[in-house]
Structure 1
């Protein structure tokens, strides 16, 4: 394998949900940039195929099949990296499942499954990785969130899960400040199986939104966040959309607010009526400024 620039030389990285799509793109580029990669997926055959591809190109990789959604399973995935390569320097929490449903039709079992994989899976893998990284004083975790957490029709479960992942990123960043272990997130956009499901559900209203947005176009930013080149980034969410690279803002208090030593319902209503509370936010993802 030709080492493109060596951004990850000497590092050992875990990529979850890497049997296809975005995860496979992240794993392939991480290996091309010099990392030894643990490729995780619930489908052992898919994980093995990506490992074979990386090895055929001259890279180092091991498969770790299994679900991220249990504490034991997540521990085994991180442990596989330590066992194979002696350490875990990076983790990409990519594993996730997607679903669409109007609230009046939401299947509670589907809602739970989305939260278990997307939220608990990210948390469990991250917790195991953090405990392996802290004694060494170095490491980078890249969580995968989505613009859907800002509000998107039919994505209550998925958007909530990705909102939780964003909040997890902010909280862990606060916890790990000054330790040498960094936590950031990416909000990718690509034509994957999730995009196919989205387009099938919404029909013409969604069709064509992910044209020419291949998973590979998202991988360089993820590898950058894993690398020492991004040492100054901590607690940030990087957004990719086609050819655009941008940053997502953290939740923030708008304006200066208004004050009253003894709020009543009437006083609250009057403050809103007078426009004193602050600007209202539009529903959905929007660009500030």
Structure 2
């Protein structure tokens, strides 16, 4: 099968449904041999069956990404089945909503273990398999919620960590032939339904008509050789719009003082000398 990923072996985590399944389907349609991972074996097997029925090549690797051994087994499954690993989409994630005063600490920990440690563990195993070959592409999945969204302390923090992981690995791997980028997708999935039900009218409709499949081409592009010059970037897909999310940056020139005091800091803010205050949430720069 020819395509943008012809001859490549790719792992997609959390690919039993929603966005992950869309990534796996398009990767296979574009010629990749795909490891479909999901914590639910039946969901992973169903996506594999669908890919094979369409003429693609896929194998299931059920299991959690949240342990070092589990993540390693998923990456090893790709090498065992297809002889190498050329791409990894760190899509597996869980979603919990809570006001801070009602946040369950065990749920917070679970979000961090799956979303942060799962991405880190799979990525670390993949990097170690890719570096000796001098080629590979890792696509992490972050979210605009890391800029600030109500009731998303755990999820937003986890996705902020994934963005920072992307920046750091990009610095580590510069010039190695292994690339690391991230996507910030938006689609109407079961996660969106949960979010809209929790926030009610404040959230209703924001993901309507945004299909998981609409996010998949950007992910496949980042996995492909066509994106050879992209490294350390966060690509945002929001319906029909494709854009980039800026890295954290220091605004303006700041205020200078050789011996800061509390009063001097207060004066600098009062005089607007420090810089423009940022709004909470994801916003577009002029």
* TM-score scaled by length of structure 1: 0.98
Deviation at 1:153, TM superposition (A): 0.4
Query: Where does residue 280 of structure 1 map in the other structure?
Result: 277
Give yes or no for the alignment of 1:109 onto 2:102.
Answer: no
Alignment of 1:61-100 (within 5 A): 61-100=58-97
Match of 2:54 among 51, 54, 57: 57
Query: Where does residue 148 of structure 1 map in the other structure?
Result: 145
C-alpha distance in 2, partners of 1:273/1:258?
A: 12
Give yes or no for the alignment of 1:191 onto 2:188.
Answer: yes
Unaligned regions of 5+ residues in structure 2, if any?
Answer: none
Q: Secondary structure at the match of 1:190?
A: coil
C-alpha distance in 1, partners of 2:48/2:99?
A: 38
Deviation at 1:149, TM superposition (A): 0.2
**Pairwise CA RMSD of aligned residues?**
0.6
Query: Where does residue 178 of structure 1 map in the other structure?
Result: 175
Give the aligned length: 286
Runs of 4+ in 1 over 2 A off after TM superposition: none
Give yes or no for the alignment of 1:41 onto 2:38.
Answer: yes
Match of 2:227 among 230, 234, 238: 230
Unaligned regions of 5+ residues in structure 1, if any?
Answer: none
Deviation at 1:207, TM superposition (A): 1.1
1:205-249 superposed Cα distances (whole Å, 9 cap, x missing partner): 111111110100000000000000000100000000000000000
* TM-score scaled by length of structure 2: 0.99
